[in-house]
Structure formats: C-alpha cells, structure tokens
Amino acid sequence: DPYANDPVRHKALKVKRNKPFCAEPSPPLLVESFFTPVPFFYVRNHLPVPEIELKDYTLELAIEGTTKKTLDFKALQKYEKRTVTATMMCGGNRRSEMSKVKHLEGVQWDVGAVGNATWTGVRLCDVLKDLGVNEDAFNHVQFDGHDLDPSGMPYGGSIPISKAMDPKADVILAYEMNGEPLTQDHGFPVRVFVPGVLGARSVKWLSKINVSKEESQSQWQQGDYKGLPPSTTWDNVDFNKSPAIQEMPVMSAICDPQDTDKVEIKNGKIKVKGYAWSGGGRKIFRVDVTNDNGKTWHTADLMEDLQTNEGRHWSWTLWNVELPVDNKSKEVEIWAKAVDSSYNVQPESFNHIYNIRGLLCNAYHKIKVQLKQ
C-alpha cells in the first residue's frame, strides 16, 4: 500500500476520500476564526504523501529544462523571510452542490475546501531574479512536487511568469503555515503558495521550478483544473480547447447554520454566518442574503479586512447577518451571494455553469433550515 506511511490526521476533518487523502472541516468550525487552525485546514492530495527529511531536501531551479542551480533548505532560507496572509481554495470547492444538477465524478466537497492562513517563506520573485531570469523571454513558471504517480511522474502545475516575477503578486515558497513549519500533509518542507489562484497551482513538496515558454505539461495543468463548457460530456471533451484555471471567481458560502439544521429564533431574527472570497486579490465589497427567494435582501456585516493594499486582498472575508423571520413559518430557505471589487457577482444557479469536472462551483449558496418554535 503506497499510502501506508501517510500521516495521522485530526478527527475534526471529515474524510472525503482516503487514498489519496482528501478531507475538510465542518462549516461552522471553519468560520469560527479568521485564521484556519492547521489541524482543521482542508487537505487535498492526489498521490501518496512523500516523506522528506529536511537534511535531504533539495530544490532544483531550471530554465527550459536545464538545471541552473540546486538549493538545499539552508540556501533557500538565505533569501529574505516574508509572510503573506491569504486564503487557499480548491477549484472543486462546493462540488457536491453542482452534483445535484447532474452526477459528477470527483471529490464531493462541501463548502470547506478552503482555509485562511499566514504563509511564510521566501518570495519566488527574489529567487527568480537571483537566477537572472529575463521575464520577457518566457511565459510560464512550472512547479513539480516530490509526490510521484505510479509511472514516476510528479504532481505539477504552472503560473504565468508575470505573476511569478511580480513582487506585488506575493507568490511565496513557503516553509511555514500559521507560524509553524509546514506539516507533512501541507507540503513539508517547502511548497509554493500562489495567492488569489485555485489551490491546484500551490504545489506541495516542491522539488523543481522550471522557467519556460510553455505551461506545465502535467496532467493537472493540461487534462484537469480547466473550466469546461456546460454541454461538454466525457465522450466529446477536448481539454486543449479550454484554458487552465488560474484566478478564482467570486464565491461565498453560508457556514452556520447548515442545511437542514434546526435554528433558534431570537427577537424575531436568526443569525447566519459565512465566508466570501474572490480570486486575483479582489476585495469583497458586499454580501447579500435573502430568506424570501430574493424579494428582500439583507446586507451582511463584513469582518474587518486586515489588508489595505489595493488589489492584494488575498484573504477571505467572514460575514454575519441577522435575518428577520416570520414566526409562523416552520422552514426558511436562505440564499447568499457576494460582490467583489470588480462588481463581479455569483451566478444564481448551478444549472448554467455545470461542467463535468465540477469546478468553479460559485453559484448562490442556498440552504433550508427548520425554525424552532
């Protein structure tokens, strides 16, 4: 069993798949704190977790496949230490809701394939500058992980070089999460962290960085993590026709209460909590919540955003709202939608954004709760 040496995980994580390990925290737990405690931070592995000793760790730096330099952990740490506070979200977060339109393969994520943390390490732009990379001569920066598939191919992904070399894009080669060394599941000893982009490009157990004219040729860049059209089926799919997903769209979710919960009414109102986030460093301007199918909308209170740098709102926004409810009704349906700083809004339903990979699942979040009378 190639998974026999996988680490032990916290009991609070709800296991979605065991081999490879995929798990998420419960939604109410998720919105208890701005920083997601590492033991509750979702895990998305595609392969067995590699065991790497710090003293054996090496990071290869290459240009068009030719190795230019190899750094050990100490050499990497010589670059200036930087910290970024940012949210990571899986491209398949909330897939289980899209699955209700039509059956979907893939991990059936609820709303918890997301977390917010501090990521500490060195800036990718500093390492690339030191390598003498000329940004204009290349298009992409590719990352490989130390985790290998049965044929010996590593997990991999790439980002545009403009992002990789922009100091304001805050791309980090992270060795700490929330101030502690990375855990085995989250990429020990070093992972890339790319703010504002789907989790798939934040390659864990980083083994190699390759600067290239081309995107990563990895399965996860070329044959997955792309936004496919709604009518595409597994019989006619052509992954070459759709670009790889990078920045994520605007998203929100109700986390507390959860669907089917029994909820207490206080002074004619019920309390609702959730998160909102958008990719590309876009700020959350507003979260609108309704409990009468959109006849009346209530503006949620947004938890203060710690980041003030324009265009670098990497962290999620937690929100809460008190909704007035009719004392006579037994059940209420609650919808939430967010608006980001480009005034992008979420689509109303999953019907028209359905795609066979179940990615970019950002329709209004809709739940039904029972009222305790």
Residue 202 touches ligand MTE, criterion: CB under 6 A: yes
Min dist CB 117 to ligand MTE, Å, is 9
Residue 357 touches ligand MTE, criterion: CB under 6 A: no
Min dist CB 237 to ligand MTE, Å, is 19
Residue 199 touches Mo ion, criterion: CB under 5 A: yes
Which letter, b or e, does each residue of 95-119 get, where b requires 16 or more Cβ atoms within 10 Å of its Cβ? bbbbbebeebebbbbbbbbbbbbbb
* Binding-residue pattern over the window 72 to 101 for Mo ion, x denoting contact by CB under 5 A: ------------------x-----------
Q: DSSP string covering 34-69, please?
A: SSPPGGGS-EE-SSPPPP--GGG-EEEEEETTEEEE
Report the alpha-carbon distance of residue 192 to residue 187 in Å, rounded.
9
Nearer Cβ to ligand MTE (113/353): 113
Which of ligand MTE, Mo ion, none binds 313 (CB below 5-8 Å, type-dependent)? none
58 within 8 A of 140, measured Cβ to Cβ? no
Nearer Cβ to ligand MTE (43/141): 43
Residue 47 burial (10 A CB sphere; 0-12, 13-18, 19+): buried
Footprint (CB under 6 A) of ligand MTE, residues 132-161 = 145, 147, 155
Residue 224 touches ligand MTE, criterion: CB under 6 A: no
Footprint (CB under 6 A) of ligand MTE, residues 43-102 = 43-47, 90
Min dist CB 67 to Mo ion, Å, is 28
- Phi and psi of 162, rounded to 5°? -60, -40
Min dist CB 372 to ligand MTE, Å, is 35
Residue 44 touches Mo ion, criterion: CB under 5 A: yes
Residue of 25, 30, 41, 256 that binds ligand MTE (CB under 6 A):
41
Candidates 103-111, 196-204, 228-236, 244-252: pick the segment binding ligand MTE (CB under 6 A): 196-204
Residue 329 burial (10 A CB sphere; 0-12, 13-18, 19+): exposed
92 within 8 A of 24, measured Cβ to Cβ? no
Residue 129 touches ligand MTE, criterion: CB under 6 A: no
83 within 8 A of 117, measured Cβ to Cβ? no
Name every residue whose Cβ is closer than 8 Å to that of residue 76 and which is 6 or more positions away in sequence.
59, 121, 122, 127, 173, 175, 190
What are the residues binding ligand MTE (CB under 6 A)? 41-47, 90, 145, 147, 155, 185-186, 199-200, 202-205
